[in-house]
Each structure stands twice: as C-alpha cells, then as structure tokens.
C-alpha cells in the first residue's frame, strides 16, 4: 500500500503548476493593458475620443498630437482588449473607434466612483524604480517617495479622489455626528488633514465646512505644490493652508476640532510619534478620523484579492519608502486593526473605534484623546 503523498503529489503538483502559470499569464496581460491605459491617460487619447469620437487612427493622431502609426496600434490594442469599440467593416486606416460612456467613467472621469484608471499610473511609477527597490532589498535601506515620480503621485492622488470627494464629506463624516455638529456650530472651527497628498480630501472638507479653517500638511513638496494648484483652481486657496511638514511637528499647531489621517498612517515611519503629536494638537472633545487599509484581521495564506493587492503595494512601494527614515516602525501597507489600536493606545488615545462605514478597500477608525 502506498501513501497518499506518493500517489497524489505528482499529478496535483502538475495541476497546481499549470494553474499558477495560467495565473501569471493573465497577470502579464493585465499589467500590459494597464500600461496601455497609462498611455491613453497620459497622452489624452481617451479625452480626444470622448470629445471627438468615433475616430479613425489619423483623426485620433491629429486631435491628440501623436504619430499616426502609434495611434493605429494603440487603438487596435484597446479594441482587442475590449476597452474601446471598433467598427470592423473597413480597412485599418478607415476603421473608427469609440469610447463607450460606461467605460469613460472608469477610464476618464476623475471624480466618478468607478474611476480606477489611476492604477495604471501607480504601476508605471513602481515600474520605473524596481531596480532601486531590488537594491534596497539587498542593503536593507529604503527608496525615497520622490523617486517614484510624477506617475505614482498622479496615481495615488487620483485613485483616492472619488472617495475623498464623495464619501468623505457624506458617509464618512456622518459616522461622527457629534463632530459634524460641532463643526457646523462653531464660528471658526479648525480641521487638519495630515498626509494630505494632492489635497483632494482637504478640498472636500473645505467645501463641506465653509466656516472652517482647513490645513493640509504633507512631507512631499511636489504633492503640496500640486495641492496648492488644485486649491487655486477650486477657488479655495484663501481658505486652505497647505504646508510641507512632518506630522510629528503638529503638537504646537492646534487646537483642531477634527484631524484627518486618510490612507496615510501606514506610511508614517514613526506612527506612534505622529499620533502622539496629533493627540496633543486636538482641541478638548475633538476627534481623529483615520482611514486605512481594509485588510484581514490576521495573516492568512492564501489571502483574498484585497489582501494580495495590499501586500503587492507593500513589497514594491510602501515598505521601501518607510525604510528611508530610521528608526522606522516598518509597518508596510498591511496595517491590521489590532496594530492600529496598539499604535493609538501607545500614543495616549483613550479610545480607538472602528466606524460602521462600508468600503471595499478602506476601514475607518475614530480616535478620541
């Protein structure tokens, strides 16, 4: 009699290997299609199709200012991938391509909740520094956030823009009714947005509370510069102060009625120090709203798609950027609820509660000093 291991393992191993090979093949197709989305966004090709389409390759080339041969190849690839529609009854030069309005929501409309095209810019930014990341793995050092470039900044800012624009001032803040009442009633309440990035969340709360003094801070100078540009475009520059600063420097800048830390805490090299400074800057009765990754409560392998994605960001971006500064908590992207609660308790917060807000990627917390 043979054991199950000796009889079943070879065939099972072959099946598992084939499944993994197929999965990596599908991943390669997906990555290449995201790079094509990057080109479509960066070169204004989707915008030209929405404004002027359906277009032939020559017409797209003229409207977008690109070479006709590249226009044809990109259009054919987009149609083969199912991102654009093509009428197949004409030769390559005369064929017309159309952007479906439903797809435009995903690919083009920056404030639409369906807009996930910025994933393409995030991947492009990571792809540009992978050799540096590999080097950091060998030395144990980090890779500066700035090295990931404009593409990553664009992707990170805009992948969160729909949620910050629509969900933050509505469902997220509705989970803090006492804080909202306080902000509405005070003649000049103060709100701080820590790790504000390109400022989409800062703009959202400034619009929601026109009586408030709103401050956004971030360590990345390029992000702050872009946030200032957005505030100018929105006509809110006179009501928003945007500063390049470390969260740990906040202690003396309060008091704030509300502090936001949205999709940022896991990236802080010293999260306890930052939270301690935030707590010191809170007004009596003020609160902190934290939004961070909706990961599993504990490590489980294999994980679901959200867990896989968060670890993917962690190994290629978040952990390397956190290890630039030493000492570092080296949290990575996967900030589990128990770890966040521990950080909050160590920083002196008396309560850290998970808020009843549904979001596929983010979990929301309220911290009370």
Least confident range from 6-10, 101-105, 238-242, 323-327: namely 6-10
Indicate the SS3 state at residue 21: helix
pLDDT-derived band of residue 1, with 50, 70 and 90 as boundaries?
very low
| pLDDT over 70, % of the chain | 96
> 287: how many CB neighbours lie within 10 A of its CB?
21
What is the pLDDT at residue 14?
A: 66
Least confident range from 86-95, 270-279, 330-339: namely 86-95
pLDDT in tens, 197-218: 999 999 999 999 999 999 999 9
Judge whether 61 and 68 are in contact, CB under 8 Å: yes
* Residue given tokens 């900044």 in the structure block: 153
- The total domain count for the chain is 2
What is the pLDDT at residue 90?
A: 74
Query: Cα dist. 89→84, 93, 95, 149 in Å?
Result: 16, 11, 7, 42
Q: Are residues 155 and 104 in the same domain?
A: no
User: To the nearest 10°, the Cα dihedral for 270, 272, 276, 277?
Assistant: 20
Q: Are residues 45 and 162 in the same domain?
A: no
Q: Is residue 198 situated within a structural domain?
A: yes
Q: Are residues 353 and 236 in the same domain?
A: yes
pLDDT-derived band of residue 4, with 50, 70 and 90 as boundaries?
very low
| pLDDT over 90, % of the chain | 91
Task: Tell me which residue of 146, 152, 153 sits closest to 324, measured CA to CA.
Answer: 146
Question: CATH number of the domain that 349 lies in?
Answer: 3.40.50.150
Q: Are residues 94 and 132 in the same domain?
A: no
Q: What is the mean pLDDT of residues 342-353?
A: 98
What is the pLDDT at residue 5?
A: 39
Q: Is residue 119 situated within a structural domain?
A: no
Indicate the SS3 state at residue 193: strand
Q: With DSSP H G I counted as helix, E B as strand and the rest as coil, what are the percentages for the chain, rounded to 5?
A: 55, 15, 30
pLDDT above 50 for 36: yes
Q: Is residue 191 situated within a structural domain?
A: yes
| pTM score, whole prediction | 0.92
H-helix segments, 210-299 = 221-233, 271-281
What is the pLDDT at residue 67?
A: 98
What is the pLDDT at residue 52?
A: 97
- Total residue count of the chain as it appears in this document: 369
> 26: how many CB neighbours lie within 10 A of its CB?
10
pLDDT above 80 for 174: yes
Indicate the SS3 state at residue 267: helix
pLDDT in tens, 228-263: 999 999 999 999 999 999 999 888 898 999 999 999
Q: Are residues 59 and 206 in the same domain?
A: no
Task: Tell me which residue of 225, 315, 329 sits closest to 275, measured CA to CA.
Answer: 329
Residue-by-residue DSSP string for 37-103: HHHHHHTTHHHHHHHH-SB-HHHHHHHHT--HHHHHHHHHHHHHTTSSEE-TTS-TTT--EE--HHH
pLDDT in tens, 38-67: 999 999 999 999 999 899 999 999 999 999
Angle between helices 68-80 and 57-64 (to 10 degrees): 120
Q: Are residues 344 and 286 in the same domain?
A: yes
What is the pLDDT at residue 332?
A: 98
Distance CA 223, CA 199 (A): 8
Q: What is the mean pLDDT of residues 271-291?
A: 97
Q: Calculate ∠ Cα 134-304-201, nearest 5°.
A: 75
Query: Cα dist. 181→124, 177, 216 in Å?
Result: 42, 6, 22
Average model confidence (pLDDT) for the chain?
A: 94
Q: Are residues 264 and 295 in the same domain?
A: yes
Indicate the SS3 state at residue 252: helix
Q: Are residues 260 and 209 in the same domain?
A: yes
Structural domain containing residue 92: 11-108
pLDDT-derived band of residue 153, with 50, 70 and 90 as boundaries?
very high
pLDDT-derived band of residue 13, with 50, 70 and 90 as boundaries?
low
Q: Is residue 5 situated within a structural domain?
A: no
Q: Are residues 265 and 338 in the same domain?
A: yes
Q: What is the mean pLDDT of residues 105-126?
A: 98
Q: Is residue 4 situated within a structural domain?
A: no
């Amino acid at each position: 009699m043979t054991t199950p291991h000796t009889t079943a393992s070879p065939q099972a191993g072959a099946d598992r290997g084939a499944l993994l090979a197929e999965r990596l093949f599908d991943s390669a197709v997906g990555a290449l299609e995201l790079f094509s989305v990057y080109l479509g966004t960066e070169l204004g090709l989707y915008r030209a199709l929405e404004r002027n389409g359906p277009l032939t390759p020559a017409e797209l080339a003229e409207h977008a200012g690109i070479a006709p041969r590249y226009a044809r190849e990109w259009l054919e690839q987009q149609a083969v991938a199912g991102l654009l529609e093509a009428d197949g009854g004409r030769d390559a030069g005369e064929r017309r391509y159309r952007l479906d309005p439903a797809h435009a929501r995903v690919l083009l409309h920056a404030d639409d909740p369906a807009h996930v095209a910025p994933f393409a810019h995030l991947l492009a930014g990571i792809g540009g520094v992978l050799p540096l990341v590999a080097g950091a793995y060998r030395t144990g050092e980090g890779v500066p956030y700035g090295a990931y470039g404009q593409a990553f900044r664009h992707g990170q800012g805009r992948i969160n823009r729909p949620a910050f624009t629509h969900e933050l001032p509505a469902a997220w803040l509705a989970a803090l009714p006492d804080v909202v009442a306080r902000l509405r009633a005070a003649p000049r309440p103060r709100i701080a947005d820590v790790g504000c990035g390109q400022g989409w969340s800062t703009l959202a709360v400034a619009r929601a509370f026109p009586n408030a003094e709103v401050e956004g801070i971030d360590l990345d100078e390029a992000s702050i510069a872009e946030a200032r540009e957005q505030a100018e475009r929105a006509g809110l520059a006179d009501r928003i102060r945007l500063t390049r600063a470390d969260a740990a420097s906040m202690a003396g800048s309060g008091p704030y009625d509300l502090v936001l830390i949205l999709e940022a805490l896991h990236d802080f090299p010293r999260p306890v120090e930052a939270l301690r400074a935030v707590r010191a800057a809170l007004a009596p009765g003020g609160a902190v709203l934290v939004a961070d990754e909706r990961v599993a409560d504990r490590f489980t392998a294999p994980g679901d798609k959200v867990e896989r994605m968060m670890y993917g960001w962690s190994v290629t971006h978040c952990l390397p950027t956190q290890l630039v500064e030493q000492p570092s908590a080296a949290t990575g992207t996967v900030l589990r609820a128990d770890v966040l609660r521990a950080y909050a308790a160590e920083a002196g917060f008396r309560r850290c509660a998970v808020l009843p807000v549904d979001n596929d990627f983010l979990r929301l917390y309220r911290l009370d000093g």
